[in-house]
Structure formats: structure tokens, C-alpha cells
Amino acid sequence: MYVMDYLSTIRQPIASELNDFTELFNRSLSHNNGLLQQALDHIKQRAGKRMRPILILLMAKSVGEVSDVTLHAAVGLELLHTASLVHDDVVDESAERRGQASVNKLFDNKVAVLVGDYILSTALLHVSYTHSEIIVRYLAELGRTLSNGEILQLSNINSHNISEDAYYQVISQKTAALFEACAAIGALSAGAPEEEIENAKTFGRNLGIIFQIRDDIFDYYDQSKIGKPTGNDMAEGKLTLPVIYALNSTHDEEMLKIAYKVKDGTVTKEEIDRLVVFTKNNGGIEYAEKRMWELHAEAMAMLDLDVHDDDIKASLKAYLDYVIERDK
């Protein structure tokens, strides 16, 4: 199935609600201050595919109806995520985001931090419109978790611990936490009982781990489509699942020395290229793909048990497939 076919299937049951979300989200990023509006307009231009709000809308509709509570919660969560990306680009000193200049590159770090703060405050405003203490709490906890995940990743870079446990600990507080919150908030906003909320959280968490592993695999190949060079994660001091497996399964001392140089920030481009080739030649990519498909099977089984609307089930299954099959 082509990417657009996946996206069409995913969006079909919530097309009207997604339009309502987009209108509300764009209104939330409007301001009459010239410099601030320039930055907000730049962010709106790189909207992406809206996979997180789509998940919120689908989970709400799988247990009930999409309401104003759902829409404001979705806008709040997407704004929180957007603010975190603006701040992440400052932390990572990234010049690009989704193939476009980052806010810090287009303006400067000061403007980027302040714009991120403005978007974060707008997220809090929208989640307050839900008048749901538990949804407000979910979003606040998510913000804390994502921040802690970033700090954990920085401390992990400075550690010589090269393990899958350390890898999963970081992503459980980043991408997995984000998708888990989307699924839970969607179900919550439609009045789902506790058991269904817990099932939604597990589904979202698995989806988030799959999403991150796929992103990590991209880094071992040419990424001209998304504006990143091969081995970009390693250049930033990050060791991801494929190389962690290759290192731990071979115990290759020469490659381990290069891996430690990755973490120390002293690695060269040539050494990164060698580590990428080593990973590919020693089953790292295949291992990561196998792990994705295991999580995919678990999530698919949950959908068969818990989602009874055929259109929503087909949409969520297409969502799972898309996360693995996408090319960027």
C-alpha cells in the first residue's frame, strides 16, 4: 500500500473531526506581534501529518464520540509536542526540522526558547478548556516526563553503558510516553472506563516504541528526504537499538572503542561510517525490525479484542502498518 493510501484509510473515519482540529490548532498559533507571528507562521508551515492528534481522535471515537473536550485536549497535546520540538532543536543545536530551517536557525536561540515557552503556555490554555482535572494532570505529567526523557538522554550519552535497557528507558520517557498519552487522553475524553483507558495506554506505548525504532533505523541510510545525513544520531552522541544489538552480540573491541568515542563526542565522520556498516553487517537492522514486528503483533491483537467498530479498527490497523512502512 502506498503512503497516501495508508493516510487516506487512517483519516477516513475522522475526516470531519480532523478538519475541526486543524482549524482550532491554526487559530491557537495566531498572534498580532510581528516577530512572534513570523515564528508561529513558520511552525505552521511544517505541520506534518498530524499523527498524534489523529490517534487522539481515533481512540475517542473507538469508545464514544469526539467532543469539544477531545478537540481541546488534542490541540493542547499537539502544542506541547510542538513546544518540545522547538526547545529540542535548541538543545541539540539542530539547524533543520522536517527539512526546513529550525526556529533557532531562522531566528536565534533566544527567540526559539521564548517561542517554545509561548506555545507551551498556549497548550496549557487549551487543555484548561477541557474542564477535566484528570486530562490537565495527564498533560502536565507528560510535559514532566518528556523533559526528564531529554535529560535522561543527555546523561545516557555521558555514560558508557551500552544496553537495550538504557535505550528503552530513554524512549519510554520520550516517544512512547507521547503516544501513550495520546491514546489515553483520547479514550478519557470520550468517557471510557478505566480498563479501556489502560488498554489504550498499552496500545499507544507499543505504537510509540515502534515509531521510535523506525526513526532510528532511518539513521542508517541516506536521509535526503528528511534533511539528515546518515549517522546523524551518532554524530549527536546517541547509540540506538541496531548498533546496540550489533555491539552486544559481537563484543567487537575495535567497534566498542568507536562507540565510546560516539558517547564522548570525539568520533570522526569516517568512524561513524564504519560503525554504520558494522551495524548493517552484523544483523542490527534485522534485529530492530524483528522487534518492531513483535510489538506490531501485540498491538494488532489488542485491536482485535478491544475495538468493535470496523472502520475505526481498519484505521488503527493502517496506522500501525504505516508507522512501520513509512519512508520518513
Burial (CB < 10 A; 0-12, 13-18, 19+), residue 261, is: middle
Question: What local confidence, expressed as pLDDT, does residue 200 receive?
Answer: 95
Q: What is the pLDDT of residues 92-147, one digit of tens each?
A: 777 766 667 777 887 788 888 898 899 999 999 999 999 999 999 999 999 999 88
- C-alpha torsion sign, points 129, 135, 138, 142: negative
Q: Are 185 and 135 a contacting pair, CB within 8 Å?
A: yes
- What is d(CA 72, CA 59) in angstroms, rounded to the nearest whole number? 15
The answer on pLDDT for 4 being more than 70 is no
Q: What are the backbone dihedrals phi and psi of residue 192, each rounded to the nearest 5 degrees, phi first?
A: -70, 150
pLDDT value at position 1? 59
Higher-pLDDT residue of 115 and 252 is: 252
82 close to 178: Cβ distance less than 8 angstroms: no
Rounded Cα distance, 119 and 298, in Å: 35
Measured CA to CA, the distance from residue 117 to residue 127 in angstroms comes to: 16
The pLDDT value recorded for residue 47 is 72
Range of the domain at 282: 3-325
Which H helix or E strand runs over 176? helix 175-189
Q: Which CATH number do you get for residue 153?
A: 1.10.600.10
Counting runs of H as helices and runs of E as strands, what totals does the chain give? 17, 2
Residue 168 in grid coordinates: 528503552
pLDDT tops 60 at residue 228 = no
Q: What is the pLDDT of residues 177-186, one digit of tens each?
A: 999 999 999 9
Q: Is the pLDDT of residue 11 over 50?
A: yes
Quickly state the pLDDT bin for 327 (edges 50, 70, 90).
Answer: confident
Give the mean model confidence (pLDDT) for residues 217-225.
Answer: 79
pLDDT reading at 226 higher than 50: no
DSSP bridge partners of 223 = 228
Dihedral of CA atoms 301, 303, 307, 309 in degrees, nearest 10, equals -110
- Domain total in the chain: 1
Residue pair 142/181 in contact (Cβ under 8 Å)? The answer is: yes
Q: Phi/psi at 132 (nearest 5 deg)?
A: -120, 110
- In 76-226 the beta strands, taken as DSSP E runs, fall at 96-97, 100-101
- AA letter at 7: L
What average pLDDT score do residues 251-257 get?
96
Q: What is the rounded distance in angstroms from the CA atom of residue 141 to the CA atom of residue 162?
A: 28
Could you give the percent of the chain with pLDDT greater than 90?
69
- Higher-pLDDT residue of 227 and 293 is 293
Crossing angle of the two packed helices 133-157 and 175-189, in degrees rounded to 10: 170
Question: For residue 229, is pLDDT > 70?
Answer: no
Angle at 38 (CA atoms; ends 32, 42), nearest 5 degrees:
130
**Cα 320 to Cα 115: distance, rounded to the nearest angstrom:** 33
